[in-house]
């Protein structure tokens, strides 16, 4: 009987080993993502960097990649057999972080889960959490894309994105779908980053729209409930 109960618990809560690992390592990985973001910023914004500071920056970048690779391997191994492929398919950003450094910086967003305002399951808490994650994701995403684009475009023939200010301006007008056209990438890497930025803009717009619709729906439901409570008793009830 105890064996049957154990099997039922496993069926209800799959991947318990992986979930326990993620709970223990999420904050550490978020801090490492922040360290990577700082090191990558130094590398791109100070192109003439040399000496011990360059070695330290390179060491931080390499160390974060190694830790993220070990973490991904551990999470795959700790996932239940038969669900490892599902895990990889549902964690595209984590997989991309192994091959594209800019996605490692997004792990800093996981620090938001420790803010008490975003705890709980109420509509307000959920909307606050989703909204805050969307804003921070957008800010980090734009910043890292700007850095990567500057690194790819700077020095290219005919480049219009040659300073960090140019890169940030281009990122902002692209993700907001304004697209003035005064700055644009000319390299293949820069254009690939532009595609990622456009896709991220669509996701952010969709998330914002969903939050607004959810808020309006909740307010309408609350207004209807208040109206129903304020209605006078029916005539049948009065007669009785």
Average pLDDT over residues 55-79: 91
Mind listing the pLDDT tens digit for each residue in 172-204?
Answer: 988 877 777 788 999 999 999 999 888 877 777
Average pLDDT over residues 60-86: 89
| Cβ–Cβ under 8 Å, residues 211 and 130 | yes
Residue 234, pLDDT score: 54
- 153: confidence class by pLDDT, cuts 50, 70, 90: very high
| Sequence ranges of the domains in the chain | 1-103, 116-228
Higher confidence at residue 13 or residue 61? 61
Higher confidence at residue 177 or residue 169? 169
Fold of the CATH domain 116-228: Helix Hairpins (1.10.287)
- 125: confidence class by pLDDT, cuts 50, 70, 90: low
Percent of the chain with pLDDT over 90: 27
Residue 9, pLDDT score: 45
Average pLDDT over residues 104-125: 60
């Amino acid at each position: 009987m105890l064996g049957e109960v154990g099997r039922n618990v496993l069926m209800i809560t799959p991947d318990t080993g992986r979930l326990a690992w993620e709970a223990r390592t999420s904050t550490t990985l978020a801090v490492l993502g922040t360290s990577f973001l700082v090191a990558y910023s130094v590398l791109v914004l100070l192109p003439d960097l040399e000496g011990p500071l360059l070695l330290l920056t390179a060491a931080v970048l390499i160390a974060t990649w190694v830790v993220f690779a070990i973490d991904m391997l551990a999470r795959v191994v700790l996932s239940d057999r038969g669900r490892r492929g599902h895990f990889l398919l549902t964690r595209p950003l984590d997989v991309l972080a192994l091959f594209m450094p800019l996605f490692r910086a997004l792990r800093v967003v996981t620090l938001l889960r420790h803010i008490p305002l975003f705890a709980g399951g109420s509509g307000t808490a959920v909307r606050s959490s989703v909204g805050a994650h969307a804003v921070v994701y957008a800010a980090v995403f734009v910043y890292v894309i700007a850095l990567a684009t500057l690194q790819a475009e700077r020095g290219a023939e005919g480049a219009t994105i040659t300073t960090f200010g140019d890169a940030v301006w281009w990122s902002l007008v692209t993700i907001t779908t304004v697209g003035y056209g005064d700055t644009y990438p000319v390299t293949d890497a820069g254009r690939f980053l532009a595609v990622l930025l456009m896709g991220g803009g669509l996701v952010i717009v969709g998330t914002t729209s969903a939050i607004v619709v959810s808020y309006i729906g909740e307010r309408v439901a609350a207004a209807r409930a208040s109206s129903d409570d304020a209605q006078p008793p029916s005539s049948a009830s009065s007669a009785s």
